[in-house]
A and B are shown apart, each in its own frame.
Chain A
Amino acid sequence: MAAACLAAGQTIEFNRDVRPILSDRCFTCHGPDAGQRKTKLRFDQEAGAKIALTGGKQAIVPGDPAKSELYVRLVTQNKALRMPPAYMGHDALRPREIEVVRQWIEQGARWQAHWSFLPPRRVEPPAVRAASWARNGLDRLVLARLEREGLTPSAEAGKATLLRRVTLDLTGLPAAPEEVTAFLRDDSARAYEKVVDRLLGSAAYAERMAIRWLEAARYADTNGYQTDGVRDMWRWRDWVIGAFHRNMPFDQFTVEQLAGDLLPGATVDQRVATGFNRNHRTTAEGGSIDEEWRVEYVADRAETTSTVFLGLTMGCARCHDHKYDPLPQKDYYRLFAFFNNVPERGFIWNFGNEPPVVKAPTPAQEEKLTALDGTLRAAELAWEKKAAAVAREQKRWERRASGPWNITKGMVFHQQPDDPKVFEGGKPTRYGTDAAKFDYRDPITLAAWIKPSTPRGAILTRYDDYFEGSGYGLFLIDGKLRYHFIFRWTDLGMRIETAEPIALNKLQHVAVTYDGGMRASGVRIYVDGREVATKVLFDSQLWPLSHKAELRIGAGAGLDYQGEVADARIYNRALTAGEIDVLMSQEPLEALARIPAARRTGVQSEKLRMAFLDTALTPELDSVRCRLEEARTERNRYFAAIPTVMVMEERKDRRDTFVLKRGAYDAPSDEVTPGVPSAFTQLPGGTQADRLALARWIVSPENPLTARVMVNRLWQMLFGIGLVKTIEDFGSQGEWPVQPELLDWLAVEFVEKGWNVKALLKTIVMSSTYRQSSKAPAELLARDPDNRLLARGPRIRLSAEMIRDQALAVSGLLETAVGGPSVKPYQPAGLWQELAGGGGYQHGKGADLYRRSLYTYWRRTIAPPSMVTFDSPNRETCSVRETRTNTPLQALNLMNDVAFLEASRRFAERVLSTGPKDEAARLTSAMTLALSRPPSPAERGILGGALSRLKQRFADSEKAAMAYLAQGESPRNAALDARELAAWTSLCSLILNLDEMVTKE
């Protein structure tokens, strides 16, 4: 395109005209990839291109193509000599490309460094003839180019069109009828600017900005691989909305998302922001190799970060040096190293957020939590106040205390005194399949007195009769006490044993506690009340346990037991070390009570106190204690339900990073340290090379890319196509900017105004360039089909979410609440089951059906179908390029999807029940609601005709009308005649299907 826009007689520019050819056709063998370079001759660097060749030849002799080997080898008839080589299957360059190279050499072969690696500079906008058209520097640059091309700008779009355009662009929603009326009536010079300011200040603006960011950040509600379990990242999403709403400067926006956790005194909000780089997909597929996937996550972060902020295709340097840009493989792993220090797993939990996470209460939740903490504190104080009374009561009770009491709270199984205690192998005691059911996140305590006579046996188990089977239990293996909790032996469960064997033929108390936290670090083993050193054999407790085996003493896992087992107990909580002491204390209460209080051991006092509190508290005191328990339970339950966000965090001991051969996790070679790509200004000396340093470097004045990349995306958002069309690639394979001065002007403006996103958007939408009519006269269309020269306004199809949101808004169904958990609007039945089985998709109720589409629940492996049909990125990987297709499936979707049919009905009800009664006025009302403008006479004729035909279709079938109107959950307005409403509903559907409706023009 750039070349096509070249005006005749212009000089050839290396960056614009020649580099793309060399890059695409020569760099593979004569470029940055040292592994592929066949000779010293390389065309990605001036020095390498101008070296002396054998035989005294030169690749490039400025001014003399015939002596330049580069040119000679392109045009030679000798196939063996021709470049690129035919024997490698390459085609010759096209005549036009060869001509560009020839002219460039002839004109002196002036070299230029790659444009995007040089800092942007603001050029003084040149003098223009139609100066009065230009409202700002942007306009002057656009106009200067148009005048050079011999083109003139288009007239300004009509007011209604402009209002609809700017409202859709800045909020993703159509203008409300009263906004249209107000704007049409406002003749003041600032009328348009007032609209722009209003739009930029709205919450809808922040939502509109957020969705493109969510796509870039590969945000979703599920993990994305295979079983595609759920995650909760919506608090991060709401952080993004908030940041856009408050107009957080883009440099701060960048730093907080990449490294908010490393900022001094990082707030919860700043830590939440780092969810950006935890949005990548993760896997919980059984059998996955942990390190293989962990490496994949780190790679995703490095690549996403370089695409989103730098417009660099870093991923091309993962397996070898970049073939086109000066990014050696080592640079890739230096960038990778910044993200390689998260305390994380590759094979992850399938049922919620994977650590590291941060609790991220909403403001309302924070308030409630503070209140609950207050209640709890009050209950604690109330109980403390009763201390003296409790002591008095206990003393009184001790006089009559008796019996072999021990801890009962949470006890779900107890081996009775009459049960067998001696096991000689092969005769376990069975307690059935209902006893002591536990799942992988339930805390548990197993305890017993044992006197084993052999070093191998099953003490207390619910476990298959097969060693590598499934279940949980306490075992003796090679004399060591061992705890198993196994879903699948090889990859899902935990196994932990004592570091040393325990004594045989000795009666001793053993206990294991697990805190329910899915980590072996939450398991403790006690022998005779002492916590002992353990060895973790396996630590991957990630999956629910399905119980089949029965509870047994003396058998399990294909083992039996020889020796004694007595007083075996199971609790549904992790007893504390103090409680374990009490548990092994066998003295009856009367014996303890007889000991004078001052001479009791800690355990003895504790046991008496526990027994008293659990069995003999007076009702009055017990109620105080109960209130405390309740307050604690309620607080903890509320706290547990507060959403978390997966965030970035640094490990204490830094993980080493290596260059990975072929990018493979199991093929490390040279060690590398974190660092920014070598082609750019490096981190200042003395800086600790961590993510924070990287983030600050990305938004530093020395970085030539970030501001350009961001303003280019904003330009794409408004004009449908970037000034650099290859949004994700500012390297030498990317497009040379069609208007480089304009891109630089915007980038400099952006940074100078403090990375102010709203200010930059305002500058653009206030420009005359933006305000032009989007009508395309045939000659202009032929000359500039993609509107790269900007002689007219943008006319592009709305994005997927806007199409639905607009229909909801026009119908009056739209729910405008901001933020919160994702919602499930309508979706055709069975889509989830046919791919993944299970319970399938259940759509939400009420308001959940009508929220803006950025809140739609996004299951990555089975994305919302209509969003994808309208070209929404699939959220699997970072996506920054907006694409638009035009297909029959979109037509079917808009005509027959319940979401649009219900919107059509509500739209019709709105027209029929709120507006005037005569048909012509109703047509006006419908078109104005939808398109902010009345119909033309010709349109009135077509729509009126259609309406009368549709009325006839429904005239004699109330039944058909009723069936047709029964779309969606919202009730039908029963006051309206069903046949009339059906005809209007189909007319409103037709309006929602108009090209103009799904297009910003």
Chain B
Amino acid sequence: MTELTRRHFFGRSALGLGIPALASLLGGELHGEGLAGLPHHAPKAKRVIYLFQSGGPSQIELFDPKPRLKEFAGTDLPDSIRRGQRLTGMSATQLSFPVVPSKFDFKQHGQSGAWVSELLPHTARIADRLTLIRSMHTEAINHDPAVTLFMTGSQIAGRPSMGAWLAYGLGSESKDLPGFVVMISPGQGGGGQPLYDRLWGSGFLPTRYQGVKFRSVGDPVLYLKNPEGFSAEARRDYLDALGAMNQLKLDEYGDPEIQTRIAQYEMAFKMQTSVPELTDISKEPARTFELYGEDARKPGTFAGNCLLARRLAERGVRFIQLFHRDWDHHGGLPKGIPTRAKETDQASAALVTDLAERGMLDDTLVVWGGEFGRTVYCQGRLTATDYGRDHHPRCFSVWMAGGGVKPGLTVGETDDYSYNIVRDPVHVHDLHATILHCLGVEHTKLTFKFQGRHFRLTDVHGNAVKAILA
């Protein structure tokens, strides 16, 4: 039934099903309405802003303080902690695994007393709004499979991304913007591990559910602008004639696809206005830039993207996916991580604060985190001033804030080495189930039949984490 409902909007069977509500098609849409029967329960959040920190930020330097590491510093990671677990090829054959404590201090913040690193002073100030999960874990130990798992629920490419699932299931609330938008910022100097189209792809869902990338170079949406010398008025003339021609064709052939096409050209025209309006931040008051930082004036920065994320949220965009690159500190961590923190801390906190001030945090879920954590042992050369950390899938930290989750809560605990989880593990699938739950979606019931199987974002796993649900 679900498939039929979808096709009513864009598919060939619109007329065939005899659904009279064809008028709703005439607006033209990218992501349309959702599936019948969704949401499954009353949603707390209407939208998600996912601030993905690509590369694997170190939990040990940011959210998971381990005072005893000072005692263990320089000693080899005990076998009792490592327990023979597999390591990446990048450190598996190291001759030693010396424990290295964080160079950075932690303090407790807010009423909740959440521990936050000195690297994140702004995040520290919103501690009472955060749900901090210090017991995230994953199986993947390399970037590609790990990020792919986070974005699609499977390490092996081919599945739809989380945003695509939600665009498919819940549709868009925005009439002139896509329901799933992606924005990317590099680390300083343009570095970082590469990203891939599939991370916001539609997998086996129809391609229209893939995320639409909003870009800081060239057109904000690919091919959005009319060519130079071709005015909006000329485009109107053009579209009027195009519509009239297509209407003749519709009258002759009766194919509902033609009707949809007419509507989509009108939608394209609307986007030519709505997207520039969205990305035009010239009318934002000075206070905005005090909050988000001056970086927010620069297109393509993480801060700039956070500001756009708020503007997208205001316009009803369902799933706003940010990526910030370059958290992959195999070496040079003491110099690298403060730069990444500086690029992201203020704007991440500002976004939460801004949403709260606008009364939107109640129905917007913000998520912050990377694809895995980092090892307590040093990768590469350990010196008095320098160290690196390899990928660590067995524990890492993610925070959430806003619609559907309990503020001021820290969940989960790791051992003295921040190596193993000792309490309340939360798997990537669990996080997905939780996010879906906040949006009113029962993760086992949002499915799509492909190759004979009813696929879902969480595969055959995952449980919404009851403890953190508000």
Residues of A within 8 A of B (CB): 89, 224-228, 281, 283, 285-290, 296, 313, 315-316, 323-325, 347, 466-469, 488-491, 538, 666, 726, 728-729, 731-734, 774-778, 781-786, 795, 797, 828-830, 833-837, 860-863, 865-866, 868-869, 871, 874, 876-877, 883, 885-893, 895-898, 901, 936, 938-939, 942-943, 945-946, 949-950, 953-954, 957, 959-967, 982, 986, 989-990, 993-996, 999, 1001
**Known: A871-B207, A885-B10, A986-B234. Contact between A287 and B142, CB under 8 A?**
yes
**Known: A324-B452, A883-B206, A995-B249. Contact between A896 and B142, CB under 8 A?**
no
A963–B228 contact, CB under 8 A? yes
Contact with A782, one of B16, B29, B444 (Cβ below 8 angstroms): B16
A886–B260 contact, CB under 8 A? yes
Contact with B89, one of A288, A893, A901, A957 (Cβ below 8 angstroms): A288
- Check B73 for interface membership: any CB of A closer than 8 A: no
Residue of B nearest to A870 (CB): B207
Q: Which residues of B contact A782 (CB under 8 A)?
A: 15-16, 18
A797–B257 contact, CB under 8 A? yes
- Check B248 for interface membership: any CB of A closer than 8 A: yes
A490–B94 contact, CB under 8 A? yes
**Known: A785-B17, A861-B196. Contact between A225 and B144, CB under 8 A?**
yes
Closest 3 A/B residue pairs (Cβ)? A785-B16, A733-B452, A964-B229
B89–A490 contact, CB under 8 A? yes
A490–B90 contact, CB under 8 A? yes
Q: Which residues of A contact B144 (CB under 8 A)?
A: 225-226, 283, 285
A490–B93 contact, CB under 8 A? yes
Segment 10-54 of B: residues with Cβ below 8 Å from A:
10, 12-18, 28-30
A734–B10 contact, CB under 8 A? no
Q: How far is the CB of B98 from chain A (nearest CB, A)?
A: 12
B197–A315 contact, CB under 8 A? no
- Check B357 for interface membership: any CB of A closer than 8 A: no
**Known: A837-B192, A939-B248. Contact between A861 and B229, CB under 8 A?**
no
Contact with B255, one of A226, A289, A795 (Cβ below 8 angstroms): A795
**Known: A287-B89, A786-B13, A891-B264. Contact between A953 and B452, CB under 8 A?**
no
B237–A953 contact, CB under 8 A? yes
Could you pull out 6 A-B pairs where Cβ atoms are within 8 angstroms? A288-B142, A490-B91, A776-B255, A785-B13, A836-B194, A888-B271
Contact with B241, one of A228, A837, A942 (Cβ below 8 angstroms): A942
Contact with B156, one of A296, A994, A1001 (Cβ below 8 angstroms): A296
- Check B258 for interface membership: any CB of A closer than 8 A: yes
Question: Could you tell me the distance between the alpha carbons of A946 and B230 in the complex, rounded to whole angstroms?
Answer: 14
**Known: A324-B452, A466-B381. Contact between A775 and B242, CB under 8 A?**
no
- Check B188 for interface membership: any CB of A closer than 8 A: no
**Known: A89-B444, A837-B190, A877-B158. Contact between A943 and B245, CB under 8 A?**
yes
A828–B222 contact, CB under 8 A? yes
Q: Which residues of A contact B250 (CB under 8 A)?
A: 995
- Check B157 for interface membership: any CB of A closer than 8 A: yes
Question: Could you tell me the distance between the alpha carbons of A865 and B261 in the complex, rounded to whole angstroms?
Answer: 20
B141–A887 contact, CB under 8 A? no
- Check B108 for interface membership: any CB of A closer than 8 A: no
- Check B104 for interface membership: any CB of A closer than 8 A: no
Question: Could you tell me the distance between the alpha carbons of A731 and B141 in the complex, rounded to whole angstroms?
Answer: 35
A939–B245 contact, CB under 8 A? yes
Q: Which residues of B contact A666 (CB under 8 A)?
A: 86
Most B-side CB within 10 Å, residue of A489, A861, A889, A936: A889
- Check B384 for interface membership: any CB of A closer than 8 A: no
Q: How far is the CB of A301 from chain B (nearest CB, A)?
A: 14
B241–A946 contact, CB under 8 A? yes
B93–A897 contact, CB under 8 A? no
Q: Which residues of A contact B230 (CB under 8 A)?
A: 960, 964, 986
Contact with A888, one of B28, B215, B451 (Cβ below 8 angstroms): B28
**Known: A889-B30, A890-B264. Contact between A316 and B453, CB under 8 A?**
yes
A316–B194 contact, CB under 8 A? no
Question: Could you tell me the distance between the alpha carbons of A227 and B257 in the complex, rounded to whole angstroms?
Answer: 39
Question: Could you tell me the distance between the alpha carbons of A286 and B92 in the complex, rounded to whole angstroms?
Answer: 12
Residue of A nearest to B328 (CB): A286
A289–B86 contact, CB under 8 A? yes
Contacts A776-B255, A797-B257 known; list 16 others, CB within 8 Å: A226-B143, A490-B91, A786-B12, A828-B222, A829-B217, A836-B195, A837-B186, A861-B198, A887-B208, A888-B267, A889-B30, A891-B267, A986-B234, A986-B238, A990-B238, A993-B265
Q: Which residues of B contact A876 (CB under 8 A)?
A: 157-158, 198
Q: How far is the CB of B442 from chain A (nearest CB, A)?
A: 9
Q: Which residues of B contact A868 (CB under 8 A)?
A: 197, 207, 210
Contact with A995, one of B10, B141, B246 (Cβ below 8 angstroms): B246
Q: Which residues of B contact A783 (CB under 8 A)?
A: 16
B13–A942 contact, CB under 8 A? no
**Known: A868-B207, A892-B222. Contact between A938 and B248, CB under 8 A?**
yes
Residue of B nearest to A782 (CB): B16
Q: How far is the CB of B448 from chain A (nearest CB, A)?
A: 13
Residue of A nearest to B183 (CB): A834
A538–B228 contact, CB under 8 A? no
- Check B449 for interface membership: any CB of A closer than 8 A: yes
B223–A893 contact, CB under 8 A? yes
**Known: A316-B452, A885-B10. Contact between A949 and B237, CB under 8 A?**
yes
B89–A347 contact, CB under 8 A? yes
A861–B238 contact, CB under 8 A? no
Q: Which residues of B contact A869 (CB under 8 A)?
A: 207, 222
Q: Which residues of A contact B186 (CB under 8 A)?
A: 834, 837
- Check B273 for interface membership: any CB of A closer than 8 A: no
**Known: A287-B89, A936-B248, A995-B249. Contact between A887 and B452, CB under 8 A?**
no
Contact with A313, one of B219, B264, B451 (Cβ below 8 angstroms): B451
B254–A896 contact, CB under 8 A? no
**Known: A828-B223, A833-B190, A891-B265. Contact between A877 and B157, CB under 8 A?**
yes
B260–A778 contact, CB under 8 A? no
Question: Could you tell me the distance between the alpha carbons of A881 and B303 in the complex, rounded to whole angstroms?
Answer: 41
Q: Which residues of B contact A945 (CB under 8 A)?
A: 241
Segment 166-199 of B: residues with Cβ below 8 Å from A:
184, 186, 190-198
Residue of A nearest to B454 (CB): A24
Q: Which residues of A contact B226 (CB under 8 A)?
A: 895-896
- Check B221 for interface membership: any CB of A closer than 8 A: yes
A892–B224 contact, CB under 8 A? yes
Question: Could you tell me the distance between the alpha carbons of A290 and B225 in the complex, rounded to whole angstroms?
Answer: 46
Question: Could you tell me the distance between the alpha carbons of A430 and B244 in the complex, rounded to whole angstroms?
Answer: 80
Question: Could you tell me the distance between the alpha carbons of A313 and B230 in the complex, rounded to whole angstroms?
Answer: 50
- Check B359 for interface membership: any CB of A closer than 8 A: no
Residue of A nearest to B234 (CB): A953
Question: Could you tell me the distance between the alpha carbons of A313 and B43 in the complex, rounded to whole angstroms?
Answer: 36
Question: Could you tell me the distance between the alpha carbons of A716 and B16 in the complex, rounded to whole angstroms?
Answer: 21
A830–B218 contact, CB under 8 A? yes
Contact with B207, one of A883, A888, A949 (Cβ below 8 angstroms): A883
Residue of B nearest to A288 (CB): B142
Question: Could you tell me the distance between the alpha carbons of A538 and B245 in the complex, rounded to whole angstroms?
Answer: 68
Contact with A887, one of B13, B14, B264 (Cβ below 8 angstroms): B264
B452–A774 contact, CB under 8 A? no
**Known: A775-B252, A897-B223. Contact between A285 and B30, CB under 8 A?**
no
Q: Which residues of A contact B440 (CB under 8 A)?
A: none
Question: Could you tell me the distance between the alpha carbons of A600 and B453 in the complex, rounded to whole angstroms?
Answer: 79
Q: Which residues of B contact A467 (CB under 8 A)?
A: 95
Q: Which residues of A contact B238 (CB under 8 A)?
A: 895, 946, 950, 986, 989-990
Question: Could you tell me the distance between the alpha carbons of A874 and B226 in the complex, rounded to whole angstroms?
Answer: 27
Segment 91-140 of B: residues with Cβ below 8 Å from A:
91-95
- Check B285 for interface membership: any CB of A closer than 8 A: no
Q: How far is the CB of B210 from chain A (nearest CB, A)?
A: 8
Question: Could you tell me the distance between the alpha carbons of A893 and B300 in the complex, rounded to whole angstroms?
Answer: 23
Contact with B221, one of A288, A892, A999 (Cβ below 8 angstroms): A892
Question: Could you tell me the distance between the alpha carbons of A828 and B272 in the complex, rounded to whole angstroms?
Answer: 17
Q: Which residues of A contact B265 (CB under 8 A)?
A: 888, 891, 993
Residue of A nearest to B158 (CB): A877
Q: Which residues of A contact B93 (CB under 8 A)?
A: 489-491, 538
Q: Which residues of B contact A835 (CB under 8 A)?
A: 184, 194-197
